[in-house]
């Protein structure tokens, strides 16, 4: 394991050093690579946050790598992570046909003091295009990014109350227990921002980001007989996750601090 | 008897002295430079002086306006003093100061407040600053008839100082702008005119008070009257000497009469011109108001010269020589030729004058459209554009006086004709002053234009004179008399053409080099150039090659790397302006500070890139730094001249010959100048520029501009500077 780590660091250095040294773009004082931390944040106006239905702050932590490839263009790669909550404020029915040929409807009622926990890791690839006149990495920019979102939605033991209508007259009431689902999705983001270099070393980055999660749009457009009898818990949670991600990515303020590595 | 011997001795001494003074111009002339130690005003920063003066102001009326005036005045003054155009402790300044000494003999306190300098400018002008600074242009000294005229002009300027005219006008202008002036509160147009009226009143006052001051001295009042003639005819050359075309001719080079204006136009200067929108009253009014006061009882005891007639004439001659160079720098080539021509009448063998004429002819030539192909191209270097500034000989119809003939001739000559004349003149000058590197290089350059631009080779010039051809023609006719020798139709046509050529002045260029073609060196140099054996001087490899139709133009790296290891940096330019509802306020204090920051950034970036860095700065001058001051002056002259050429890389920077020493000392031929213009209005606007020049060839190597709607943050400027220097230093990829 240790060998692998050292090997990958060496490979990265061997690849990046000549990229930097032979670059045709100036970078900042000859430095083309910026490593840093960033935070996207915005008040959770609609959705819940990780552990509360009350209004809170959505906050995404990110580790960034940026490389100046042209006079006004940076290639950006970042790893980001955030936690938020998902609230399902409706009931849905899942229909099943049992071995006797009878249709069994299970009604799911979301009933929890805490929202469902959505933990998402994101991998972002994109480009920053700096304004005419300036030279990367200093000045105003526009950034386009593709964000691959790997989400894990966890529900606790008391999250759902189910009513099994095996006998309509006397439905069985129960809880489904704990569980988690993993969903993959992606978002497209567009940012407007500005970078400053402080003390010829630190890179301060701030701006605003707008994003869309296409999967959520599709789901909304289809207005799937959402919570129809054919819905499964997984599909419902997937949709809810995408919707939550959509709201999460729609608008964010952004601030980051990095350093000019080489 | 004793007295007679003494007078004889003094007379002899003066005669010898006069002879020595003018003998110095016989063979050559060395341009003026500053010497001695630098006065305090060159060393102190404008900020320091301004702060001191503002604190000395105390409680006064119009304090804010006065404060603004002090700051603006000090910064303008400092820029002027450090521009390199101001001469310190040179013969001209020393003489002018002696005249001021005479004027203020009885006012030592006032004399001590005055700082009088001569500036290298061709304008016929003198001007004063409130703080006691008076500047007299070389152009004025070259035109004066006597010392008394100079004394009157100085007295006029001294009055401006005494009466504090500059500050009063500044305050009045502000009041007029605000509509609070008691002088005029009418419409905007009326207030504008009031400004001129106010200024004219001040000028009239300066004339009258200046005359009063003159009367207190022993200067001739009658002689000073001509000062207004000097001003009225200031647009004419310093002397009117008929231009003769034989100046460029020799036994074989005969200029056709069609290039020579038989009669030059009369001088039609009007002294009663409309002065409504002029800062000075017209000459007739000035003369008229002063004339009644000119009568003095003691005129007979007054003198035209109180300092020295010899010294005046020597100084005027120096000013005239200096003016030839100033004309070249100011790109006034025909005037440079004419001024040199006038002086050549007296100093026929003067190398400086010959070089001036050759340089001017060369630069007129390279700006003329070639008879074969376009010689001047547009340069595309970096992302910036320098506008094309083609020199055109002014229309002779707009010229008055004797110089009109020269304008006519140079304006009407074709490129080939001018090339031939210039080469003939330059080569003969080179032979006369064998070994002069400037004339030698110019000869090569003229050969180059002849071959590369005008497509003329040795075979295009006749080695036989017209007389010789006529003679051989007669012999041929005699031979033809033999009945068995029949002449073909084609031979007849050729002979007829040659006859026309020989009998008329047409195609005079063909016979221009008959004499020179007997010179082995001339033929060898021409042949070498034609074969491409010598380096093509002044042809620019950076010029764009013409587009070839049908072929796709290869994508060119628009910002090439230059691979330069050492650069000489000039003091950066910085301008910070606040734009308040259309009115711009210069933030003077911040300028000095930011200039220093930009210089530090340049140093840091150069260090990062391992680009060797040296500077010519005037920011930290000390008293003993006169050499550095002179270096800066030379460099400023060079740059000023080069910028006037715009993107014309083929034009010769005539002051290059004086910059060799600087290149040697700096260890590089590349000079860089950068700057920032930051303007804050509703939004911030920041413009950055970077210019790199090759001092040896005059080439514009790099010109970069960047404009952003942002303030001039340090990191932003750093990124710009680093980018510029990276392109300068990085080796071009193969």
Burial class (CB in 10 A: 0-12, 13-18, 19+), B232: buried
User: Which stretches of chain B drop beneath a pLDDT of 50?
Assistant: 1-3, 8-21, 374-384, 535, 537-557
Task: State whether residue A30 sits within 8 Å of chain B by CB.
Answer: yes
Query: In the prediction, which pLDDT does B186 show?
Result: 66
Measured at the CA of B722, the angle between CA B716 and CA B724, to 5 degrees, comes to: 105
Strand order in the sheet with B126-128: B86-87, B115-119, B133-137, B126-128
A201 to chain B, any CB pair closer than 8 A? The answer is no
CA distance B594 to B476: 82
List all residues of chain A from 69 to 98 with a beta carbon under 8 Å from chain B.
71
Q: How far is CA A181 from the centre of its chain?
A: 15
Facing residue for B715 by CB, picked from A133, A140, A196: A196
β-bridge mates for residue A205, sequence order: A195, A256
Which of A131, A140, A197 is closest, CB to CB, to B715? A197
CB B568 within 8 A of CB B616: yes
Which of A29, A71, A197 is the closest to B605 by Cβ? A29
Q: How far is B686 from chain A (nearest CA, A)?
A: 10
Compute the distance between CA of residue B339 and CA of residue B1 in angstroms, rounded to an integer: 46
Q: Sorting pLDDT into bands at 50, 70 and 90, what band is A229?
A: very low
Distance from CA of B617 to the nearest CA of A (A): 24
What's the distance, Cα to Cα, between the start and end of chain A in Å? 26
Contact criterion met (CB < 8 Å) for A197 and B718: yes
The answer to whether the beta carbons of residues A261 and A210 sit under 8 Å apart is no
Please tell me whether residue B304 adopts helix, strand or coil conformation. Answer: coil
Where helices occur in B28-62 by DSSP H, the ranges are 46-57
- Give A41's strand partners: A59, A253
CA B540 from centre of chain: 24
Q: Is A19 on the interface with B (CB under 8 A)?
A: no
Cβ contact (<8 Å) for A138 and B609?
no
Nearest CA in chain A to B713: A196
d(CA A64, CA B106): 79
Q: Kindly report the number of other CB atoms within 10 A of residue B251's CB atom.
A: 9
- Min Cα–Cα distance to chain B from A26, Å: 5
Q: Enter the tokens of residue B470.
A: 């006529």
Q: List the single residue in B608, B713, B726 with the smallest CB-CB distance to A196.
A: B713
**Measured between CA atoms, how close is A44 to chain B, in angstroms?**
33
Task: Return d(Cα B693, Cα B568) in angstroms, integer.
Answer: 10
CA separation for the pair B141, B318 (Å, rounded): 9
SS3 B12: helix
With beta carbons under 8 A apart, name residues in chain A contacting B719.
Answer: 26, 28, 134-135, 138-139, 197
Give A199→chain B minimum CA distance, Å. 8
> How close does chain A come to B723, measured CA to CA in Å?
5
Residue B542's alpha-carbon distances to B377, B642, B699, B705, in angstroms, are: 9, 16, 8, 19
Question: Cα(B162)–Cα(B113) distance, rounded to whole angstroms?
Answer: 10
Nearest CA in chain B to A131: B708
**Chain B: residue whose CA lies nearest to A29:** B722
Q: How many CB pairs under 8 A join A and B?
A: 49
Tell whether domain A26-260 is in CATH 2.40.160.20.
yes
d(CA B635, CA B82): 12
Cβ distance B715 to A138 less than 8 Å, yes or no, reads yes
Q: Collapsing DSSP states into helix, strand and coil, what is residue A67?
A: strand
Whether chain B has a CB inside 8 Å of the CB on A198: the answer is yes
Q: Which residues in chain A are closer than 8 Å to B720, comparing Cβ atoms?
A: 135
How do residues A141-181 score in pLDDT, each as one tens digit? 999 999 999 999 887 766 666 666 655 556 566 666 677 88
Best of B601, B715, B733 to disrupt the A interface (most A CBs within 10 Å) is B715
Residues 6+ apart with CB under 8 A from B328: B336, B356, B359, B360, B363, B641, B654, B655
Give the minimum alpha-carbon distance from A91 to chain B in angstroms, rounded to a whole number: 54
- Position B427 scores a pLDDT of 94
User: What is the chain A residue with the closest CA to B722?
Assistant: A29
* Distance separating alpha carbons of residues B105 and B81, to the nearest angstrom: 26
CA distance A231 to chain B (A): 54
**What's the rounded Cα separation, in Å, for the pair B627 and B518?**
46
Q: To probe the interface with A, which of B676, B702, B708, B718 has the most A CB atoms within 10 Å?
A: B708
Q: What is the pLDDT of residue B288?
A: 79
Is omega for the bond preceding A93 within 30 degrees of 0, making it cis?
Answer: no
Residue B380 CA, chain-centre distance (Å), reads 26
Distance from CA of A139 to the nearest CA of B (A): 7
Does A130 touch chain B if contact means CB atoms closer than 8 Å?
A: no
8 Å CB contact between B242 and B260: no
Residue B177, CB half-sphere, CA atoms under 13 Å: how many?
8
What is the predicted pLDDT for the residue at A125? 92
Say which DSSP state B460 is in: G
Q: Regarding predicted confidence, which is higher, B534 or A218?
A: A218
Closest residue on chain A to B688 (Cα): A133
Report the residue of chain B nearest A201, measured CA to CA.
Answer: B715
Q: Which residues in chain B have Cβ-Cβ distances shorter than 8 Å to A141?
A: none
d(CA B34, CA B572): 23
Q: Smallest CA–CA separation between B712 and chain A, in Å?
A: 11
**A23 vs chain B: nearest CA distance in angstroms?**
11
Closest-CA residue in chain B for A25? B723
In the block, tokens 């006052």 appear at: B205
Is the Cβ of A29 closer than 8 Å to some Cβ of chain B? yes
Tell if the CB–CB gap between B718 and A28 is shorter than 8 Å: yes
The chain A residue lying nearest B715, using CA atoms, is A197
Give the chain B residue whose CA is nearest to the CA of A27. B719
Residues of B with CB under 8 A from a CB of A: 604-605, 608-609, 706-708, 710, 713, 715-716, 718-720, 722-723, 726
Q: Compute CA B629 distance to the chain's CA centroid, rounded to the nearest angstrom.
A: 19
List of chain B residues whose C-beta atoms are within 8 Å of the C-beta of residue A196: 713, 715
Q: Which of B606, B719, B725, B730 to probe the A interface (max A CBs under 10 A)?
A: B719
For residue B608, the chain A residues in CB contact (below 8 A) are 29-30
Which of A26, A140, A198 faces B719 most closely, judged by CB atoms? A26
A182 or B554: which carries more pLDDT confidence? Answer: A182
Residue among B608, B719, B726 minimizing CB distance to A138: B719
**What pLDDT sits at residue B501?**
59
């Amino acid at each position: 394991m240790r060998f692998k780590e050292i090997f990958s660091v060496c490979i990265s250095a061997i690849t990046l050093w000549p990229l930097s040294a032979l670059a045709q773009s100036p970078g900042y004082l000859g430095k083309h690579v910026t490593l840093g931390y960033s935070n996207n944040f915005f008040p959770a106006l609609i959705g819940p946050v990780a552990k509360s239905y009350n209004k809170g702050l959505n906050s995404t932590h990110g580790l960034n790598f940026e490389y100046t490839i042209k006079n006004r263009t940076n290639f950006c790669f970042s790893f980001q992570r955030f936690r938020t909550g998902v609230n399902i404020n409706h009931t849905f029915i899942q229909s099943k046909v049992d071995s006797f040929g009878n249709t069994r409807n299970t009604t799911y009622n979301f009933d929890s003091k805490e929202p469902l926990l959505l933990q998402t890791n994101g991998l972002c690839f994109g480009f920053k295009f700096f304004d005419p006149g300036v030279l990367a990495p200093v000045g105003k920019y526009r950034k386009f990014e593709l964000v691959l979102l790997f989400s894990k939605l966890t529900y606790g033991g008391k999250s759902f109350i189910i009513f099994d209508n095996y006998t309509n007259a006397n439905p069985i009431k129960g809880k489904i227990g704990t569980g988690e689902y993993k969903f993959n999705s992606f978002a497209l983001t567009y940012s407007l921002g500005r970078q400053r270099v402080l003390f010829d070393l630190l890179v301060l980055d701030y701006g605003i980001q707008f994003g869309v999660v296409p999967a959520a749009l599709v789901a909304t457009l289809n207005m799937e007989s959402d919570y129809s009898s054919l819905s499964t818990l997984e599909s419902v949670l997937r949709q809810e996750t995408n919707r939550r991600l959509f709201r999460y990515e729609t608008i964010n303020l952004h601030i980051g601090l990095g350093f000019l590595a080489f | 008897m004793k007295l007679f011997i003494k007078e004889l001795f003094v007379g002899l001494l003066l005669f010898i002295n006069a002879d020595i003074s003018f003998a110095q111009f016989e063979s050559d002339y060395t341009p003026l430079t500053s010497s001695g130690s630098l006065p305090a005003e060159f060393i102190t920063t404008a900020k320091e002086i301004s702060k001191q003066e503002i604190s000395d102001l105390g409680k006064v009326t119009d304090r804010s306006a006065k404060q603004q005036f002090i700051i603006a005045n000090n910064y303008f003054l400092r820029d002027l003093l450090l521009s390199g155009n101001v001469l310190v402790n040179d013969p001209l300044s020393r003489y002018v100061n002696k005249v001021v000494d005479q004027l203020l003999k009885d006012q030592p306190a006032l004399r001590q407040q005055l700082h009088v300098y001569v500036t290298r400018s061709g304008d016929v002008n003198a001007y004063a600053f409130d703080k006691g600074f008076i500047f007299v242009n070389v152009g004025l000294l070259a035109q004066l008839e006597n010392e008394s005229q100079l004394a009157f002009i100085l007295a006029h300027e001294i009055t401006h100082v005494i009466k504090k005219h500059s500050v009063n006008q500044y305050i009045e202008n502000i009041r007029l702008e605000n509509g609070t002036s008691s002088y005029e509160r009418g419409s905007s147009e009326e207030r504008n005119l009031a400004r001129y009226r106010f200024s004219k009143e001040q000028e009239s006052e300066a004339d009258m008070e200046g005359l009063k001051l003159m009367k207190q001295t022993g200067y001739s009042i009658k002689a000073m009257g001509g000062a207004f003639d000097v001003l009225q005819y200031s647009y004419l050359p310093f002397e009117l000497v008929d231009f003769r075309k034989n100046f460029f001719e020799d036994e074989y080079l005969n200029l056709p009469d069609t290039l020579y204006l038989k009669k030059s136009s009369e001088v039609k200067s009007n002294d009663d011109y409309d002065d409504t929108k002029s800062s000075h009253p017209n000459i007739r009014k000035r003369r008229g108001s002063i004339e009644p006061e000119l009568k003095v009882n003691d005129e007979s005891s007054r003198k035209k010269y109180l300092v020295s007639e010899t010294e005046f004439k020597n100084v005027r001659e120096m000013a005239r020589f200096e003016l030839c160079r100033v004309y070249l720098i100011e790109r006034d080539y025909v005037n440079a030729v004419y001024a040199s021509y006038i002086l050549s009448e007296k100093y026929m063998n003067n190398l400086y004058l010959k070089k001036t004429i050759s340089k001017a002819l060369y630069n007129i030539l390279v700006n003329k459209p070639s008879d074969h192909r376009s010689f001047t191209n547009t340069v595309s270097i970096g992302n910036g554009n320098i506008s094309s500034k083609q020199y055109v000989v002014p229309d002779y119809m707009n010229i008055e006086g004797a110089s009109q003939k020269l304008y006519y001739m140079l304006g009407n000559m074709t490129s080939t004709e001018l090339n031939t004349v210039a080469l003939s003149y330059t080569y003969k000058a080179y032979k006369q002053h064998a070994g002069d590197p400037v004339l030698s290089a110019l000869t090569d350059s003229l050969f180059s234009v002849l071959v590369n631009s005008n497509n003329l080779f040795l075979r295009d010039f006749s080695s036989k004179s017209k007389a010789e051809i006529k003679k051989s023609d007669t012999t041929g006719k005699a031979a033809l008399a033999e009945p068995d020798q029949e002449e073909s139709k084609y031979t007849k046509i050729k002979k007829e053409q040659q006859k026309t050529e020989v009998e008329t002045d047409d195609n005079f260029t063909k016979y221009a080099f008959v004499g020179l073609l007997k010179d082995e060196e001339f033929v060898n140099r021409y042949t070498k150039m034609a074969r491409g054996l010598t380096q093509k001087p002044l042809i620019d490899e950076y010029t764009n090659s013409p587009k070839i139709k049908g072929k796709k133009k290869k994508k060119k790296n628009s910002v090439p790397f230059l691979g330069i290891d050492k650069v000489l940096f000039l003091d950066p330019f910085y301008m910070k302006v606040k734009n308040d509802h259309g009115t711009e306020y210069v933030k003077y204090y911040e300028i000095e500070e930011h200039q220093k920051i930009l210089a530090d950034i340049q140093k840091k970036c150069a260090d990062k890139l391992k680009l060797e860095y040296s500077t010519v700065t005037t920011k930290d001058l000390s008293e003993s730094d006169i050499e550095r001051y002179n270096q800066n002056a030379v460099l400023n002259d060079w740059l000023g001249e080069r910028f006037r050429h715009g993107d014309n890389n083929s034009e010769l920077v005539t002051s290059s010959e004086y910059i060799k020493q600087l290149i040697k000392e700096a260890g590089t031929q590349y000079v860089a100048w950068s700057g920032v213009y930051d303007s804050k209005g509703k939004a911030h606007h920041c413009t950055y520029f970077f210019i790199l020049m090759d001092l040896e060839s005059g080439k514009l190597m790099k010109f970069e501009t960047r404009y952003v709607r942002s303030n001039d943050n340090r990191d932003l400027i750093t990124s710009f500077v680093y980018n510029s220097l990276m392109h300068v230093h990085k080796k071009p990829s193969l």
